[in-house]
Chains A and B, each alone.
Chain A
Amino acid sequence: MVLKKSTKYILTSVLVVAALVLLFMLDNGMIGTSYTVRIVRLSFIYALIGVSMNLVNGFTGLFSLGQAGFMAIGAYTVGVLTIPVDLRPNVYYLKPMAEGLANVEVPFGVALLLGGIFAAVFAALIGAPVLRLKSDYLAIATLGFSEIIRAVIANDQLAPLTNGSLGLKSIPGFDSIFIPVIISVAGIAIMALLIKSSYGRAFKAIREDEIAAEAMGINLFKHKEMSFAVSAFFAGIGGGLLAAHLTAVDSNQFKIMVTYEILLIIVLGGMGSITGTCIAAFAITAGKEWLRFFDEAFFIGTWQVPLFRPGLRMVIFSLLLMAIVLFYRRGLMGTKEFSWDGILHFFLRLKRGIMRLGKKPAREVQ
């Protein structure tokens, strides 16, 4: 059974309008609190970063673990370029900012774009040696570069630019929830279009079989480099959005743990599924906030339930990652995308299952 095309359009537009109305109401404080707004913003940002990582890992089959480093480049670019000039002496109170940059302040959009471009250029540069490596060497090398970026940023020699280990603060935040939402959705859409194009088919061919893809005339290096640079670009944009979301950045926010968390998102959503990643980004980001009670002491009456203390939440998330890999390797969506037909089939299967449960088991045939 397949839905009619017009029905699908109607359903999709209803969904989009509903989402827009909800966002509008959130933005005007009609529903939710500022806390909800923060979670929604963060979910969109993580969806963008998740899809960017999925582009390389899920669609091109390259196991790259450098996302945190690219995010750091984007975040620091936005931070350095958008902190208001009159607040800078307060931020750079130990070492003043470098002469040439001290009075340079650019609009958020320009800084964000520059952050993405810097991340992409850096990725293209390291891609030349790194992308020739086989899968597991690639993982270590990208992980290594991400740590190098962090070490360089935190180094006190770069303090006139990055404020060293003190981090940056007073970064202007968002005026409206729509800024991060529109940028994230646009970024995801661009990546989706790329994946649908002939480039995307080449990426998937490389994922399935590198040697066969090369034999079919696909330039391996060019496509890998492209996937890697585009991924880094959007990770940089995501990092920049994160900087404005938090209004402060610190090199410690971009440790390997961040990459692992994004990996959890794409593994949960399904390696090679954009919609899966988006759904997982929302589930994980919201889940991380809602499950905060695990980190606090929990009482039933006067009896304190054991185990509930800081850190339990992240233990649960790491167990979740293990459970998905071990028992449910495809994740939520596998390599499929969200579709109304898929939803319909899911409900039909559910209905059939319930009906079968209701009926008496058929007598065994001799």
Chain B
Amino acid sequence: MDLTTFLQNCVTGVSLGSAYALIAIGYTMVYGILRLINFAHGDIFMMAGYFTIFAIANFMLPWYIAIPFVILATVILGAAIERAAYKPLREAPRMSIMISAIGVSFLLENLATYLFTGLPRSFPKLGFLQHVYKIGDISAPIVTFITPVITIVLLFVLIYLVNHTKMGMAMRAVSKDYEASRLMGIEINTIITITFIIGSALAAIGAILYFSPRPMVYPFSGVMPGLKCFVAAVIGGIGNIPGAVIGGFVIGIAETFLVAVFPSMTGYSDAFTFVLLIIMLVFRPTGLLGENITEKV
């Protein structure tokens, strides 16, 4: 592998990793607060892809109106799912909430198949994002270069939000101790809804950035990225926002280089993510940045 190919792969890997990072943040925040793997998150991401298709290809909106529209629609979907499927089960056993999350995922996949047919739909070109740009010998669409920038900016905004605002303080309190923060007068349900809103908005941005360099969206195109991003969140330390971003980068870069260095392994690139997960869970179950939590009886 010469230097140009290496750099080209670096750019692709970092870009893929930053899209993963945006989705992984959604998983990590929801898990931090509800202790729930939001199985539906990958499908919310897929729906955001379809919303983009509708906004641009069907409604002919220009990209600067389409993007806020997609984010808004995804946020409404995410918050509605939380209200309808997770809120009634706050006091239920963990397994019930998890089944409910799987049910939502099952529903969204089937609903997408029903509404948009199972055939893949081509993802529209988002104005300037698709123009090929060259830095030295490396060429890629502009979206590949700006994805990491957007991710880092959003990460800092989010860290500020969580660490320096009253709402962020409430979020941290809820994730530390659910009951106690309720007793301290924190509106748990509002905080949880806000968490879902942030997660869904990031998933929508992630979807636009992830699907732009790819040709197709189909009803199951959220499953694999969804699982991988959960793995990313676990690798970074679940509940930890910068950790999720690091995890996303690790998986995106590792996956890109696996395919680049061993082209014969392409079929196993999805499997590789789970091998990483198992290695991580066996040797460092709290993730790279996670804290140790001892189980109380």
Contact = CB atoms under 8 A, between A and B. Distances in A.
Contacts, number: 126
Nearest to A309: B114
B282 A314 contact: no
B156 interface: no
Interface stretch (B95-103, B131-139, B243-251): B95-103
A315 B273 contact: no
Interface stretch (A82-90, A136-144, A175-183, A241-249): A136-144
A32 B109 CA distance: 34
A318 B110 contact: yes
Contact of A326 (B89, B98, B114): B89
Interface string A254-270: 01110010011001000
B37 A311 contact: no
A140 B271 contact: no
Closest 3 pairs between A and B when the two form their complex, measured CB to CB: A311-B114, A144-B274, A318-B107
Contact of A135 (B94, B113, B297): B94
Contact of A144 (B107, B268, B277): B277
A61 B230 CA distance: 22
Interface residues on A, range: 35 or more
12 contacts: A136-B94, A141-B277, A148-B270, A151-B271, A156-B267, A263-B99, A263-B102, A264-B106, A311-B113, A314-B113, A315-B111, A321-B107
Contacts of B223: 256
Contact of A311 (B85, B110, B234): B110
Interface string B28-43: 0000000111000000
B71 interface: no
Contacts of B107: 315, 318-319, 321-322
Contacts of A123: none
B132 to A, nearest CB: 31
B103 A318 contact: yes
Contacts of B275: 148
A21 interface: no
B222 to A, nearest CB: 11
Contacts of A322: 85, 100, 103-104, 107
A144 B281 CA distance: 13
B229 to A, nearest CB: 11
Of A309, A312, A325, the most chain B CB neighbours within 10 A belong to: A325
Contacts of A139: 37, 98
A147 B277 CA distance: 13
B254 interface: no
A136 B231 contact: no
**Residue of B110, B117, B275 contacting most chain A CB atoms (<10 Å):** B110
A148 B227 CA distance: 12
Given A61-B95, A130-B278, A147-B274, 13 more contacts: A63-B95, A129-B281, A129-B282, A137-B234, A144-B231, A147-B227, A148-B275, A152-B267, A157-B267, A271-B95, A315-B107, A321-B107, A326-B89
Contacts of B295: 211
B62 interface: no
Contacts of A152: 267-268, 271
Interface string B2-36: 00000000000000000000000000000000011
A140 B277 contact: yes
Size band of the B side of the interface? 35 or more
Nearest to A260: B106
Interface of B: 35-37, 85, 88-89, 92, 94-96, 98-100, 102-107, 109-111, 113-115, 117-118, 220, 223-224, 227, 230-231, 234, 264, 267-268, 270-271, 273-275, 277-278, 281-282, 285, 295, 297
Given A135-B94, A147-B227, A267-B99, A141 B281 contact: yes
A79 B162 CA distance: 54
B110 to A, nearest CB: 4
Contacts of A234: none
B98 A329 contact: no
Interface in A307-366: 309-312, 314-315, 317-319, 321-322, 325-326, 329
Contacts of A63: 95, 98
A203 B270 CA distance: 33
A151 B268 contact: yes
A320 to B, nearest CB: 9
A314 B227 contact: no
Contacts of B115: 311
Interface string A207-219: 0000100000000
Contacts of A147: 224, 227, 270-271, 274
A317 B264 contact: no
B57 to A, nearest CB: 21
Contacts of B36: 136
A329 B109 CA distance: 22
A63 B39 CA distance: 13
A98 to B, nearest CB: 18
B154 to A, nearest CB: 25
Contacts of B96: 325, 329
A346 to B, nearest CB: 25
B181 to A, nearest CB: 22
Given A135-B94, A157-B264, A312 B114 contact: yes
A133 B281 contact: yes
B106 A155 contact: no
Nearest to A295: B114
B47 to A, nearest CB: 14
Contacts of B94: 135-136
A310 B96 CA distance: 30
